[in-house]
Amino acid sequence: MSEVYKKLEKIVTEKFISNNLIVRHAYSRNVDPVLQGVPDIVIRPKNAEEISEILKIANEENVPVIPRGGGDCEFGGSKPVEDGGIVLDMKRMNNIIHLDEDNLTVTVEAGISWGKLNEYLCHYGLYTGCMGPGSGMTASVGGGISHHSVGGGGCAKYGSCTNQLVGLQVVLPTGEIIETGSKANKYTKQHFNRCGNGPDLNGLFCGDNGILGVKTQVTLQVFPRPQYADYKTFLLPRKDRAVSSKIFSEVRRAGIDVYDLMYIYDIIVKIGCQQGMFPLWDHIKKKRAIMFYTVEANSEGELKEKVKQLDQIFLNNKCESLGPEISDGNIAKWHYVEQGHWQFYHNLWGMVPALEPCTAECFTPINMYPKILDDIDQWDMEHNDDMQVFTNITGQRPISGSGPILLIDGCNVELTCGFTTFGSYYNGEIHENFEELNLRLWKSFLERVTKWGVEWYMMGEFASRLMVDLEAYLPEYYKLLATVKNALDPKNILSTGKFNFWGGKR
């Protein structure tokens, strides 16, 4: 047992630390098929003070630390980049600290899941607005804030989850514990507002992908869930990419505060139906693209008016409404009423058994994504020979493209794009060439999409490094980022490897 292990064990007790081989391997993975490194130690702290002690030891001993919430990152965010280091599992810190019903804020420990938090809030007629990511049943609030997560419902109305952030408690990489926002004033008893007391230092930690500090407590705004809601699902006509983009834009121009607006393009609908993933659309003869909306209101009259305006936009664009019930194919109702927004993506990624995703998620303007989707088709054709290598062995061709496309705040969409693939272990045999091919294809794919000027928002090791390798960052921006990182984490202990600050070396 190493000296570092013994020191850490004293902090959390033996029950909450492990160097067991199976545990270490379990923490060496996220959902992508790439194995980058296996940690030496997995530790499960219970509060900020313990984390502070752990980080101080990591600095003394020069050992990397990787914060991990739900571990749902899609590309190397919450697993080690190389062998060694400590994975800091935040899921033990999953308590609700305080619901302030007067001021409509909730303070939670950062390891709580969006599902658990919203289950609690619903007893008070409240919700978090943006319900976090589609992985919200397991993904943590701290992970969401570290990623600018968006997508698990409500994001057309409320934007990404960082929009609702009021304040943070963060342990800096060198072990100091800080409060941001209103609580930066020592006379303030509670987080009530994000901006003030100087620059918005909350923002520094939003979307930082865990490189600037460990979030231990998060205060979010909460909202009363409106009493009225309606939800409709439509089949799109041909040329659905252009039509859907037009609808997104028209809804925004009409100024309707739609809660969710989602487009699922035809390939996903077709393949998903073939795989039995969308039983609610089995009865639809023409498996065309789908688009749906959810809208909320405080009175019946308000709801009626909004629905009228939205329906008009869809009908003017030659869309065909499916019936009102889930059994009619109304996925929007399932999303809102049965929390389908947190189940949908888990299904999607298990679309074909043994297929694994090499994806990425980015923001892009409404008028841009149809061109990006066309270019992804082109990329796929150009890489047909590579895809064939998988097909020859598995009998199935990887599928490239995009998952559901969601309207978020402003005139932007969230675009999840990539390709499904196979891990090197397939059907009882190891295919080493799969590993190399996956990495090469994934990089090539992300490079192609990056050049469309998209904004990756959860970057992990993969996209953050790619941006640097491609020299996509403006040099002045990257220099400032590296300066901030160096000031807060001079030994580059936290999430070592991301953004390639030290040229790939520690």
Ligand X SMILES: Cc1cc2nc3c(=O)[nH]c(=O)nc-3n(C[C@H](O)[C@H](O)[C@H](O)COP(=O)(O)OP(=O)(O)OC[C@H]3O[C@@H](n4cnc5c(N)ncnc54)[C@H](O)[C@@H]3O)c2cc1C
Nearer to ligand X, 135 or 317 (CB): 135
154 binds ligand X (CB under 6 A): no
The distance of closest approach from Cβ of residue 269 to ligand X in the complex, given in angstroms and rounded to an integer, is 18
Report CA dihedral (389, 287, 358, 383) to the nearest 10 degrees: 40
Indicate which single residue of 37, 39, 64, 67 sits in contact with ligand X (rule: CB under 6 A): 67
92 binds ligand X (CB under 6 A): no
The rounded distance, in Å, linking the Cα atoms of 156 and 228 is 17
Q: Where are the beta strands (DSSP E) in 44-145?
A: 65-68, 86-89, 96-100, 105-109, 126-127
Neighbours of 436 (CB within 10 A): 11
The distance of closest approach from Cβ of residue 395 to ligand X in the complex, given in angstroms and rounded to an integer, is 25
Considering only residues 6 through 35, tell me which ones interact with ligand X, judged by CB under 6 A: 30-31
Q: Which residue has tokens 């999607």?
A: 348
The full 3-state SS of 279-341, as one line of letters, equals HHHCCCCCCCCEEEEEEEECCHHHHHHHHHHHHHHHHHCCCEECCCCHHHCCHHHHHHHCCHH
459's tokens: 């970057």
Q: What is the DSSP letter of 494?
A: B
147 binds ligand X (CB under 6 A): yes
151 binds ligand X (CB under 6 A): yes
Cβ atoms of 386 and 370 closer than 8 Å: no
Read off the amino acid at residue 191.
Answer: H
78 binds ligand X (CB under 6 A): yes
Task: Count interface residues toward ligand X (CB under 6 A).
Answer: 39
346 binds ligand X (CB under 6 A): yes
Q: In a 3-state reduction of DSSP, which class is residue 65?
A: strand
Nearer to ligand X, 30 or 420 (CB): 30
Neighbours of 494 (CB within 10 A): 27
Count Cβ neighbours within 10 Å for each residue of 304-334 and write b for 16 or more, e otherwise: eebbebbbebbeebebeebeeebeebbbbbb
Cβ atoms of 160 and 149 closer than 8 Å: yes
Nearer to ligand X, 213 or 398 (CB): 213
The rounded distance, in Å, linking the Cα atoms of 393 and 391 is 5
Nearer to ligand X, 55 or 319 (CB): 55
55 binds ligand X (CB under 6 A): no
269 binds ligand X (CB under 6 A): no
Indicate which single residue of 64, 134, 153, 173 sits in contact with ligand X (rule: CB under 6 A): 134
66 binds ligand X (CB under 6 A): yes
The distance of closest approach from Cβ of residue 370 to ligand X in the complex, given in angstroms and rounded to an integer, is 21
152 binds ligand X (CB under 6 A): yes
Task: Report CA 277 to chain centroid distance, whole Å.
Answer: 22
The distance of closest approach from Cβ of residue 118 to ligand X in the complex, given in angstroms and rounded to an integer, is 14
The distance of closest approach from Cβ of residue 452 to ligand X in the complex, given in angstroms and rounded to an integer, is 19
Considering only residues 456 through 485, tell me which ones interact with ligand X, judged by CB under 6 A: 458
Considering only residues 206 through 245, tell me which ones interact with ligand X, judged by CB under 6 A: 209-210, 214-215
Nearer to ligand X, 346 or 397 (CB): 346
Give the interface segment with ligand X, choosing from 132-140, 251-259, 265-273, 390-398 (CB under 6 A).
132-140
The distance of closest approach from Cβ of residue 286 to ligand X in the complex, given in angstroms and rounded to an integer, is 27
118 binds ligand X (CB under 6 A): no
46 binds ligand X (CB under 6 A): no
175 binds ligand X (CB under 6 A): no
Give the interface segment with ligand X, choosing from 11-19, 62-70, 332-340, 443-451 (CB under 6 A).
62-70
Indicate which single residue of 50, 72, 240, 296 sits in contact with ligand X (rule: CB under 6 A): 72
Nearer to ligand X, 39 or 151 (CB): 151
The distance of closest approach from Cβ of residue 108 to ligand X in the complex, given in angstroms and rounded to an integer, is 11
Read off the amino acid at residue 211.
Answer: I
The rounded distance, in Å, linking the Cα atoms of 52 and 407 is 39
Q: Where are the beta strands (DSSP E) in 58-180?
A: 65-68, 86-89, 96-100, 105-109, 126-127, 165-171, 177-179
Cβ atoms of 421 and 20 closer than 8 Å: no
Could you tell me the maximum CA-CA distance found in the chain, to the nearest angstrom? 69
Cβ atoms of 157 and 410 closer than 8 Å: no
The distance of closest approach from Cβ of residue 472 to ligand X in the complex, given in angstroms and rounded to an integer, is 19
Q: Which residue has tokens 């909350």?
A: 202
The distance of closest approach from Cβ of residue 355 to ligand X in the complex, given in angstroms and rounded to an integer, is 13
Could you tell me the strand order of the sheet in which 65-68 lies?
A: 17-18, 41-43, 86-89, 65-68
The distance of closest approach from Cβ of residue 333 to ligand X in the complex, given in angstroms and rounded to an integer, is 19
Q: Give the footprint of ligand X on this chain (CB under 6 A).
A: 30-31, 66-74, 77-78, 90, 110, 133-135, 139-140, 142-144, 146-147, 149-152, 209-210, 214-215, 345-346, 349, 361, 458, 495
